[in-house]
Structure 1
């Protein structure tokens, strides 16, 4: 397990809840950036030494990361970064597509497109302006959440959240590979097409844009198209 940067010096003296958040965010960033690979065991002693913390906030952070699908607890063996089979990932992408389709069919045509699409535009602008992998990952997740949010259906938003959280790792792997291949702009173009379709305020146009923004998975885990 690679050494990870410790929290800022002030973080150690903050309230326990804040410390848990700091540790959880650092571990999440390490997982999404590839510093911690899928299936890699999280060595508590090393993390505690790297971060200058006790086991209590670390274990609470690991519990929260497990709820997000980023970490798996192994009976009597600690924790490891979650692994997802090709089937798992395809099923999650499929579920996201179903929720997005339902949201678009429910929401469009929009009564006030300019106002309703503001969160989607903000997420797209953040994706376009992102200068690092983690910022791009967050903006990408926000974009798809904002698309589903157009329906104004709280239960739909709640159903989507765990799917997006569990897809963080495969999506991050794909986006890292896009960056390595210098095709990041292609991903921006795909999401710009979705935004433009939404601005046209026609459900069929948006659904076609969502269907066509899939691409072959780069990380080798899958053998058929997915949506990023």
Structure 2
């Protein structure tokens, strides 16, 4: 169970959005762990809000796959089994390979967003900011797929990454204990270098290697 956190003063103007943002950050940053119960009385007291905006925020988080509602047991942070995670990674890999087959060749300008997110990953790794590292990692992969210029592909791809980010957060914590802080950044730099070659076989090989070694179990 997470340690008790201080009460947070939220403005009523965008209360639901703020609650969604705060809880999402706590879930994806690993402060709230998969399977941890979200007790209404505790969360409303901590945020200084009523139950109505919290319940709406929980509903939106459930739509994103980050919260689960259990009959007669309330809400909890969503869980992913190893099989669930493996299946989501497989779908992610299929969509990324399709994106590269559609996108190549790319210009140097096309790679700009990926470079920006790689730099953000590096800054977060140096600071030890695990939530920003995970967010920048997700944005890097979205930028990769966005090079295909395929709106429906992005709409299908983003929810998969969001669900996986909880799993990623756990693995990033394990990786922090076992590996150098910039190892993950280096892996993504290798992937970016492969994409910059504009050689499809090189890119697909890099994607396969990246998918195999990206996370510790």
TM-score range, shorter chain: over 0.9
Out of 85, 94, 115, the residue aligned to residue 121 of structure 1 is 115
Matches within 5 A, 1:166-185: 166-185=163-182
Looking at structure 1, the residues matched to 64 and 6 of structure 2 have their Cα atoms a distance apart, in angstroms, of 22
> Contact 2:184 / 2:214 at 8 angstroms: preserved in 1?
no
| Corresponding position: 1:57 with 2:58 | no
In the alignment, which residue of structure 2 is the partner of 1:149?
Answer: 146
Distance 1:103 1:35 in 2: 33
Q: Which runs of 5+ in 2 are unaligned?
A: none
Select the residue among 32, 36, 44 that pairs with 1:36: 32
CA RMSD of aligned residues (A): 1.5
Deviations 1:172-219 (A, max 9, x none): 111111112243321111100011111112111111111112327434
Cα distance, 1:140 vs structure 2: 0.3
**What are the superposed Cα offsets for residues 150-175 of structure 1, whole Å, 9 maximum, x if unpaired?**
10000100110110111010011111
SS of residue in 1 equivalent to 2:69: strand
Tell me whether 1:107 sits opposite 2:103 in the alignment: yes
Q: 1:165 is matched with which residue: 162, 165, 189?
A: 162
Which residue in the other structure is 1:66 paired with? 62
User: 2:155, 2:134 → 1: CA distance?
Assistant: 20
TM-score between both structures, scaled by the size of structure 1: 0.88
Preserved CA contact (<8 Å) 2:168 2:215: no
Aligned-partner Cα distance in 2 for 1:6–1:21:
17
Q: Does 1:192 pair with 2:192?
A: no
Residue 133 of structure 1, CA deviation: 0.4
User: Number of paired residues?
Assistant: 212
8 Å Cα contact 1:137/1:172 also seen in 2:
yes
Shift of 1:116: 0.9
CA positional deviation for 1:36:
1.8
Confirm or deny: 8 A CA contact 1:175 1:184 kept in the other structure.
no
